[in-house]
Structure 1
Amino acid sequence: MVIASILKGKGNQVVSLGPDDTILDLARLLARHRIGAALVRAPDGRLLGIVSERDVIRGMAGHGTGTTTLPVSQVMTRDLVTVLPETQVIEALGLMTQRRVRHLPVLDAGGGLIGMVSIGDLVKARIEEAEQEAEELKHYVTAAG
């Protein structure tokens, strides 16, 4: 299974905010959408980074009580780990494990943003794939027996 098939099911809506939005804005955005990370984009739409709950915690540890007023650009992750629509789910899971990330922006061949997948999306897809394989094996054994 490839990343494109996950995006077909979940859609390509991506939650993002600007680099000058505050950590408090981010917290409200994440809570409203019930997600763990948002992309940070320039006014022209360019992808600047990603900011997650983990980044907020690190920001609080480094900046203390005034963290909520900081711009997200001060705590966001700039070194993005991305995938293509044709990336295999198992490959993306390995990348997440290796790079210790939970969200992967999905870019087209030209570098344009077309969606984002989370570790939950990938695990769900992998479980569905395994269940389908088990069902196919069961039918094969039943038909052969």
Structure 2
Amino acid sequence: MIRIDNAAIREAEAPHERELIGAPMSVSDIMTRTLITLSPNQSMADAASLLNQYAFRHFLVVEAGGKLAGVISDRDILRAHAVKSGWHSHPVSEFMTAKPSTVTEDVSLSVAADLMVAKRINCLPVVDACGLVSGIVTSTDLLKTYRQVQRSIERNAHL
């Protein structure tokens, strides 16, 4: 008699389930790799200009060597405008979130989503083992993926 436990069955079915719904499963599947970044010494005016030009909500702040310095968000820019006279001439390093939570490309989407919910954040910089920036994953990316998965499930339910 051969005994196979439920965990072994789930493990064997996992790739098949992924094929059925066509779902990206890790951060590397949905992250944005082509980034527009700021350096820590660029002005808040530069950040505001990029925000208006590209309509992004987050920009990664990256040091010359490619290491992550922080994240500047649309909220940070609004806060700077509200609290500091001459805010536009100050460097982004004064208003950015330094040492933000990060993930690596192999992190599952559920872990990334859990981290965003727990930390009440809307983006996660993606870094390699050396701390070099390789991309960003946002709450919008996760919602688009959820929508894709949900539609696939609904289509497959009607087959």
Tell me whether the two structures share a fold, i.e. TM-score over 0.5. yes
Contact kept? 2:67, 2:131, Cα under 8 Å: no
- The one-letter code matched in structure 2 to 1:35 is F
The alignment yields a C-alpha RMSD, in angstroms, of: 1.6
- Report the Cα distance in structure 2 between the residues aligned to 1:57 and 1:72, rounded to whole angstroms: 12
Structure (1 or 2) with the larger CA radius of gyration: 2
Of residues 27, 31, 43 in structure 2, which corresponds to 1:3? 27
Structure 2: 5+ residue runs without aligned partners? 1-24
- Report the Cα distance in structure 2 between the residues aligned to 1:67 and 1:30, rounded to whole angstroms: 15
State how 1:30-109 maps to structure 2 within 5 Å.
30-63=51-84, 65-109=85-129
- The one-letter code matched in structure 2 to 1:75 is F
Aligned length: 135
Scaled by the length of structure 2, what TM-score is found? 0.77
Contact kept? 1:89, 1:126, Cα under 8 Å: no
Scaled by the length of structure 1, what TM-score is found? 0.84
- Report the Cα distance in structure 1 between the residues aligned to 2:72 and 2:26, rounded to whole angstroms: 25
- Report the Cα distance in structure 2 between the residues aligned to 1:92 and 1:28, rounded to whole angstroms: 29
- Report the Cα distance in structure 2 between the residues aligned to 1:41 and 1:26, rounded to whole angstroms: 13
Structure 1: 5+ residue runs without aligned partners? 140-145
Contact kept? 1:50, 1:78, Cα under 8 Å: yes
**Residue 146 of structure 2: aligned partner:** 126
- The one-letter code matched in structure 1 to 2:72 is V
